[in-house]
């Protein structure tokens, strides 16, 4: 049985349509701003789905309160499916005195949850901070299914080396070539950015990344591909953490922009719900 937090309400209809049973919960706010939750039903094993986009802290506190309520009702096994995990980019101390925020979040969730499933975690190595079973889920199936036909015999590219595995996972589902952009110094003052070992001329290209924030990374890559004579340029990412105006800027620069629904946005057209139901 599933419990849906307020950060996953946008996934609820599809979860039900695909056969997922959902337990009723009441979630409201006390007049002083604190959250009130109440679980109206129970089951032996429960999967809580909660995405922790903005307001991140509120969504996280809800996860803790709902888990406490579920344990109180006797739930034996509790899994957390977190399509977007807040604080996942703060994975190291860069200035003395800072926390490793993702560790703090995972250790807190581990007080209540037996298993943790996260989509496309910024640094998958940080799963080690969760002492129970912890899984990084790939959006590759969803992205490949959405863009496969439009892309035809095209190629899949990562905007940098760090995202290469993401491009590879999508390309392998479609049986296509993949590569990544690399910065190459061509003179003391000039740096050239181009896809490694791949010719994009006349080919449709899908650029895949984990996050789009300002859109700068994707726009730069798309403009280069146009200069290189690429065909259609599509952009996909797992998490649309869009800064103000980013959707419009990226949309103008490419043939189509679509992200998964780990975070609800106007371009969250790629659904990861089938992957949740498949767990």
Where do contacts with ligand R5P occur on this chain (CB under 6 A)?
159, 163, 209-217
* Cβ partners under 8 Å of residue 94, min gap 6: none
Bridge partners, 207 (sequence order): 157, 235
| Least Cβ distance, residue 242 to ligand R5P (angstroms) | 8
Q: Judged by CB, which is closer to ligand R5P: 67, or 236?
A: 236
Task: Specify which residues 256 forms β-bridges with.
Answer: 234
Q: CB of 137 within 8 A of CB of 79?
A: no
Looking at the chain, the number of H-run helices and the number of E-run strands are: 8, 13
Annotated catalytic residue within 107, 183, 184, 252: 183
C-beta separation of 80 from 48 below 8 A: yes
Identity of the residue, 108 or 251, whose beta carbon is nearer to ligand R5P in the bound complex? 251
Between 25 and 263, CB nearer to ligand R5P: 263
Shortest distance (Å) from residue 245 CB to ligand R5P: 12
- Nearest-approach distance from CB 207 to ligand R5P, in angstroms: 10
Give the nearest distance from C-beta 225 to ligand R5P in angstroms: 16
35 flagged as catalytic? no
Closest to ligand R5P by CB, 108 or 214:
214
Angle at which helices 164-174 and 140-151 cross, to 10°: 60
Nearby residues of 184 by Cβ (< 8 Å), 6 or more positions away: 191, 192, 193, 194
- Decide: 279 and 259 in contact? Cβ < 8 Å: no
Catalytic residue list: 183
């Amino acid at each position: 049985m599933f419990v849906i937090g307020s950060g996953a309400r946008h996934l609820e209809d599809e979860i039900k349509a695909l056969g997922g049973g959902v337990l009723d919960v009441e979630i409201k706010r006390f007049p002083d701003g604190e959250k009130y939750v109440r679980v109206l039903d129970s089951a032996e094993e429960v999967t809580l789905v909660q995405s922790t986009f903005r307001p991140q802290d509120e969504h996280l506190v809800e996860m803790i309160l709902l888990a406490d309520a579920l344990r109180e009702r006797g739930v034996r096994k509790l899994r957390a499916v977190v399509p977007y995990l807040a604080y996942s980019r703060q994975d190291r101390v860069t200035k003395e005195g800072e926390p490793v925020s993702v560790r703090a979040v995972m250790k807190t969730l581990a007080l209540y949850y037996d298993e943790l499933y996260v989509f496309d975690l910024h640094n998958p190595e940080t799963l080690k901070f969760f002492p129970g079973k912890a899984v990084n889920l790939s959006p590759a199936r969803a992205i490949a299914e959405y863009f496969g036909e439009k892309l035809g015999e095209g190629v899949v590219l990562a905007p940098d080396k760090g995202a290469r595995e993401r491009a590879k996972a999508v390309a392998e589902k479609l049986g296509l070539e993949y590569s990544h952009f690399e910065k190459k110094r061509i003179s003391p003052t000039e740096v050239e950015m181009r896809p490694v070992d791949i010719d994009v001329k006349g080919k449709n290209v899908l650029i895949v990344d984990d996050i789009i924030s300002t859109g700068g990374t994707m726009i730069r890559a798309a403009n280069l591909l146009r200069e290189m004579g690429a065909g259609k340029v599509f952009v996909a990412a797992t998490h649309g953490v869009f800064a103000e105006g980013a959707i419009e800027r990226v949309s103008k620069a490419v043939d189509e922009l679509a992200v998964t629904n780990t975070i609800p946005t106007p371009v969250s057209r790629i659904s990861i719900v089938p992957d949740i139901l498949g767990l």
